[in-house]
A and B are shown apart, each in its own frame.
Chain A
């Protein structure tokens, strides 16, 4: 048993750390650290910097301009990124659509679309969920009806993250309504500037805008925009969701959050002493740290299995549940540590009042916003269903 990275992996870790510390603009890191960002431009610019380095499509095969990173290298990259307060890579084009195109797309789709994902000409968003089809994705109703060499699309998608920045959307649409619900679904690419597409922002609990509703009214989409075969979209959707679930534990975010809370608890006072000396708070912090240390190893055990070519079954569901619960516990501690100072609605006007220590004015907002992480990408209840199905079926 050896819990450490190999010399090659350690060298890669050092290389990533050195690159990010040199290449990540300080103002972008500052906006990620204080919770006010990243902005659209921050994400776009960071993508461009990574693309110049050749790391944006790190997990892509070399044939498509990637570096063939396996799960361990990807983990190292993502953890170092989080620790350095780099913006998270926006996954929709790079980690969700791209693998789908590589496996199911035509040669023409691959050669046209993959380079545009890397160089930022296309910002993709996701059209999966609908108002009546959340956890129960297969009950989706958005229709695409064939009309010559076009589909006519009507319906509504929701929870479309960063839709306001995107120029294209990949959608699951219903191309047949008889048979099993899963059987009549197709995977369709739609330009957002096509007539009949309307994007409406959804404001979230803490006041921010990151998700949208998308309405389709008689939208004409070329049949050439179909990925894979008609009515074969469910296979593609499942494949895509499998990719969405790698690095699902978010350990880097949690490690970074834990370090910030420890520093915060040394700064703020309760009953005349630093909060870190408060036995109740210290106990909660120590408990969460133990949970996190265990989850880091669980994560590495599963990565190691995947790297050795083993087939991951339902294990990522465990990481999703544990990873999100731990991140939410950390958000909870970060909020509580501030006491009343967590309560003001964050705004730039308040920053000069220094009601909280630097980088902590968004703690309550982050806590509320991050209720989403146990809901999106298949809620933790759905993950438990997946796990139970795996465990109880013999």
Chain B
């Protein structure tokens, strides 16, 4: 048994952490994340230079990673820095594309899957394709206004198929998210698209599960920072003549938070290790379910133990807390994944 990361991944993580600490500090992050275009194209170019996207693509397609542990390595660091760059779309596209060269070279990909009445579930998608043309609307598509290429899930001949198109072919209304970063509404009206995969449901679900793993790792990175912030605050802030951390009522809650973060770390490791195996869907669902609950607890408890300062825009914790809570609104929330697990139980798994 060995829970150490490989040297390659450790180097990647150190490089990324140093880069993000130097050039994506929280003041810069907040300046770009809440104003159009809701990310920083210059930094995207620098991340491309660093070779970040090679880490998301498997070696047989010219990349240098693409395994669950590579995903975790990258997204944990993005989470620590609260980085609003739309890397998630890049990751999900990486597992669906045969030719990943443009992706590794920095072309921005976004997956347009969820719809207003089908926020998480592929079965209920109504966007349709007839004669190579798409009609429908995708709602709250993360990264949409920054996208150069869209990968779209749509119904064709009764199956969920996957299409590709230049983003400029669709009508996209972009906006910022409450926790920062770009998203948008994507409208198709008899819009030409190229078919990538005729029967794409399994491949798409796998890409979404890899995305869910990435979000869990992002949350883990953010929770590590929140925990450090909380311990700093509890040991320095004084009320009633002593540090807050001297009050047992708060000590116990801070420890509960720490225990839950270790649980999150463990389920992320377990899910990453299952990437590429039969068990991956179940592990990803377990991770996203658990991390959704834990991230919310950590956000709420950290705010409460900070008091008023925790809900000010000025104090970085508030932005971490928002991201931690809103991650649960992406790619299936804690209940949605719990239902998947319940169905699995009923089915005997």
Residues of A in contact with B (beta carbons under 8 Å apart): 129, 132, 134-136, 139, 158-159, 202-207, 211, 268-272, 278, 280-281, 332, 335-336, 338-347, 349-350, 353, 355, 364-365, 367-369, 371-372, 374-376, 379-381, 384
Contacts and interface: CB of A to CB of B under 8 A. Distances in A.
Given A270-B119, A341-B140, A343-B140, A371 B177 contact: no
Contacts of B120: 270, 339-340
Contacts of B117: 268-269
Nearest to B318: A205
From A268, A345, A367, name the one whose CB has the most chain B CB atoms within 10 angstroms. Answer: A345
B239 interface: yes
Nearest to B292: A336
Interface string B276-315: 0000000000000000000010001001100110111110
Given A272-B121, A341-B140, 9 more contacts: A136-B239, A158-B308, A205-B322, A271-B336, A280-B338, A339-B114, A345-B176, A365-B178, A381-B250
B89 to A, nearest CB: 14
Interface stretch (B61-69, B152-160, B193-201, B324-332): B324-332
A185 to B, nearest CB: 16
Nearest to B253: A381
B333 to A, nearest CB: 6
Contact of A368 (B34, B139, B311, B339): B311
Contacts of B105: none
B179 interface: yes
Given A339-B333, A341-B139, A384-B249, A205 B311 contact: yes
B175 interface: yes
27 contacts: A136-B239, A136-B240, A159-B308, A202-B314, A270-B119, A272-B123, A278-B335, A280-B338, A332-B296, A335-B325, A340-B114, A340-B120, A340-B140, A340-B329, A342-B326, A343-B140, A343-B183, A344-B177, A345-B177, A345-B178, A347-B175, A349-B175, A364-B178, A364-B326, A372-B311, A379-B307, A384-B249
B140 A374 contact: no
Nearest to A353: B185
A73 B124 CA distance: 50
Given A202-B312, A207-B313, A371 B176 contact: no
Contacts of B11: none
B121 A375 contact: no
B322 A203 contact: no
From A158, A207, A270, name the one whose CB has the most chain B CB atoms within 10 angstroms. Answer: A270
B230 interface: no
Given A344-B178, A345-B177, A205 B333 contact: no
B124 A134 contact: no
B114 A371 contact: no
B119 A343 contact: no
Given A134-B308, A269-B118, A272-B123, A340 B139 contact: yes
A374 B304 contact: yes
A338 B336 CA distance: 13
B23 interface: no
A207 B30 CA distance: 12
Nearest to A272: B124
Contacts of A372: 308, 311
Given A205-B312, A344-B140, A353-B173, A135 B239 contact: yes
A20 to B, nearest CB: 31
A61 B240 CA distance: 38
B169 interface: no
Contacts of A269: 117-118, 124
Contact of A271 (B121, B139, B325): B121
Contacts of A136: 239-240
A375 B311 contact: yes
A369 B325 CA distance: 13
A375 B304 contact: yes
A347 B35 CA distance: 13
Contacts of B250: 381
Contacts of A203: 312-314
A271 B343 CA distance: 13
B116 A355 contact: yes
A371 B303 contact: yes
A130 to B, nearest CB: 11
Nearest to A269: B117
A335 to B, nearest CB: 8
A129 to B, nearest CB: 8
A336 B328 contact: yes
B321 interface: yes
A343 B322 CA distance: 10
Contacts of A336: 328-329, 333, 335
Contacts of B140: 340-341, 343-344, 355
A90 to B, nearest CB: 19
B341 to A, nearest CB: 11
A21 to B, nearest CB: 33
Contacts of B185: 353, 355
